[in-house]
Structure 1
C-alpha cells in the first residue's frame, strides 16, 4: 500500500500487499488533515471609534490619518472631535500633555466639530466616503444642546452621520470637567435622543458602568433608562462602560459580562463598542488568548459588536491598535469575525448612508 503524507493523502491499495482495514485508513487521513496548517485570515476593518483631535484640539492631520488607514487595511472610520478641551492653567509652568497631566479643568468645546468638518471638506469625494463623522461638540447638561445640534445639521446637510462620543460618567474626565456631572438619563440628553431618532443618527455614549471603587454596576440605571425609553434610537455603548481608570483601580469587573449579556437580550437598540479598554482583561486573557465566554456572547449577537482604536489626534499606531483584535476575531466563525471587524459599524449608520458604503 502506498501512503502519501500530503494535505490531500488517501489510502491506495497496492496489488501485492494486504489492504489496511478501513479504520486505520480513516485514522491516517484524519491525522494528516489535523496537521495541515490553518490559513491565517486577512481582515479589513472599520474603526468605529476614532478622535481626529486630542484634548488640546490638535491633530496630526488628515494626510497622516489616510496613510495610517491604508497601511492598516482600514476601509472606514468613525471620525469625531473631542467634546472637551484641556485648560493650560495660568499657574502651570509647563503645558500638560494629556487631560490627566495636572489638576487644571477641561471645558465643553463646540468648535471641535468645526475642525472635523473643515478637514473632511478638503477631501475629494471618494476619500470622503471612507469617513463617517459624528457630531460631539455640545454640553450634555444643557437643554439647549438639541437646538445646537439641529443648527449644525442644517449648516452642513448630509455631513453628520451620528452623535458622540458623548461624555457622561467618565472617571477623571468627569472629575475635571467644569460644571455638573452629566448623566446619560438627564433631561438634556433625553431631548438629544429624540432628535437622534428623528434624523436616524446613532448615538455613541460613554457612560461608565461603575465608579473606581464600587464593585457593582453603580451607574447602570443611567444607561438602561434611555435604552428602555428610546427604542427607536440606536445606542453604541463606548467600551461597554469600562475605562482605563476603572481597570487601574479594579482590574476586572466580574459583573460586566452577565450585565452586557442581559442588556443585549433586553434591548435590540443597543450596540457595543469593544475599543481598546475591552481588549484586556475581557476579550483576551493574560496570555493573549481569546476569552471563551466573550467569544460565545459575540456569537450569540453577531451583529451587535464593533471594534475601534479610540486614538486621539495621533495616528501612527492605528494599524497596531486594530490588529490587536485579531486573536479574538480569529476565535469567531469567519463570517461573524468579518462583521465585527468591518460591517457591523457600517450597518448602524443612517440608512441612507448604508447603500453608499457596501
Structure 2
C-alpha cells in the first residue's frame, strides 16, 4: 500500500549503469541468510542514481555520498514498507545504501493497519538491529484504543505512527476510517498522556499545515509538554518560516524532514537551501526520512537524504540529524514490565533484569528478547 498522504507526482526513472552484487558472507541464522540473499539479488542503485541534473559538475554521485557518510549509520525515520511486506524486498537496498536502521510501519489510521503493525513487529524480531517498529492500528474514537496502545508499548513497539491527526486535502488520508478531525479529537489527549509514561513518540500526519488543524496541534503541544510529537514530512507543503516558528515555540516538537519531497517532487521547490538554516538551528530535533519514496522512488528518497546531509556541512549537525536525535528518543525509553517479565521467564537477560532493571532500556530488552532461543 502506498504511503498515505496528499501528494502525488510522477515516479522518477533512474538511469545509468546497473550491476548485480555477487557474493555474501556466510550467515549463521535464517534471518541473516534472508537479508544476505536480498543483498545479492538487489541490483546496485548507487551509481545509477547519479548526480542531481541541475547540480554543478562536481556534485558527488550517490555512491560517493554513501561512502562518505556510511559511518553515520543513517536512520530512515518514516517508512511504510510493512505494507504488503515490502520490507523483505528492500533489505538489500537499505544495506547497500548504508542505512543503519529504519522506522517501519505500514498503513495509516485504518483497520488494515492492525495487520501491517504485525508485519512491522515480525520484521523487528528478525532484524532487531535494523528495524524500529511503530504502530497505528487503533481507533482513536474508541476507549479500547488506550488498552491497545498500552499493550503494544509494553510489548516493545517504540512509537505510534503514522497517525492521521487531521486530513482534509489528502485524497487518501482524508478518507481513512480511524483518522481524527483534529489533534485534540477523540481520545488523543489521553493517548498523549499515556505515551508520555513510556517516553514514546507519536509520528503525526497533519494537513493542511494551517488553520484549525494547526491551532489544535499547538494546543496539544502546549497542554502535553511531556509528550514527544514528531511532525511527519514537516517540510512538505510548508514553508521554512512556518517550520522555524513551530520549532521555536514548541520544545517537544520534532521534525521529520522528507528530503525527497523538497529535492525531487515538482511541488517541493527542488532546493534544500531555504530549509538548511532551520535544520541547523534546531539540529537536535530534526531527523530524515524517505516516506518509502512516495511520489518518487525509495532509492531516490535515500539519495535525497544524503544530499541534504552533504549540504549541511557541519559534522555535528550531520551526525545529530542522520542518527543521534532518533536514537536518543529510543534510548530514553525504559524496558517495560512486560519485557522484564519475559526476560526473566526466558532467562535471556542475565543479572541485569534482576539487579538493575531500571538501567535496561527498551532497546536493549528488545534485542535480548529477539536473540533469546525460541521454543
Q: Which has the higher contact order (CA 8 A, sep 6+)?
A: 1
Report the CA distance between 1:118 and its aligned residue: 2.6
Distance 1:344 1:179 in 2: 29
Residue 223 of structure 2 corresponds to residue 223 of structure 1: no
TM-score where L is the length of structure 2 = 0.63
- Conservation of the 8 A alpha-carbon contact between 1:161 and 1:350: no
- Cα separation, 2, equivalents of 1:68 and 1:273: 21
**CA positional deviation for 1:217:** 4.1
> Which residue of structure 2 aligns with residue 195 of structure 1?
194
- The structure that is helix-richer by fraction is 2
Report what 1:322 is aligned to.
302
Q: Secondary structure at 1:148's aligned position in 2?
A: helix
Say which of 331, 337, 342 aligns to 2:311.
331
Counterparts in 2 of 1:1-358, with a 5 A limit?
42-43=68-69, 44-54=73-83, 58-62=84-88, 64-84=89-109, 107=111, 109-121=113-125, 123=126, 127-154=127-154, 156=155, 159-170=156-167, 171-178=170-177, 181-210=180-209, 217-240=211-234, 242=236, 253=238, 256-276=239-259, 278-280=261-263, 286=269, 288-291=270-273, 293-311=274-292, 317-332=297-312, 333-351=314-332, 352=334, 353=361
Whole-angstrom distance in 2 between the partners of 1:325 and 1:61: 19
Q: CA deviation at 1:189?
A: 0.8
TM-score (norm 1): 0.66
Unmatched segments (≥5 aa) in structure 1: 1-36, 86-106, 211-215, 248-252
Q: Output one character per residue of 1:267-324: Cα deviation in whole Å (capped at 9) or x when no partner.
A: 1111000125642489x975x4432x311111111111111111189xx953431111
2:256 and 2:179 map into 1 onto residues whose CA distance is: 26
Structure 2, unmatched stretches of 5+, are 1-57, 335-360, 368-375
Q: CA RMSD in A?
A: 3.2
Residues 241 and 319 of structure 1: is their aligned pair in 2 closer, same or farther, counting only changes over 3 Å? Answer: closer
Q: What SS class does the counterpart of residue 165 from structure 1 fall into?
A: strand
Separation in 2 of the partners of 1:119 and 1:147?
A: 23
In 2 relative to 1, CA 257–290 (structure 1 residues): closer, same or farther, beyond 3 Å?
A: closer
- Does structure 1 retain, via aligned residues, the 8 Å contact 2:153–2:198? no
| Matched residue count | 269
SS at match of 1:168: strand
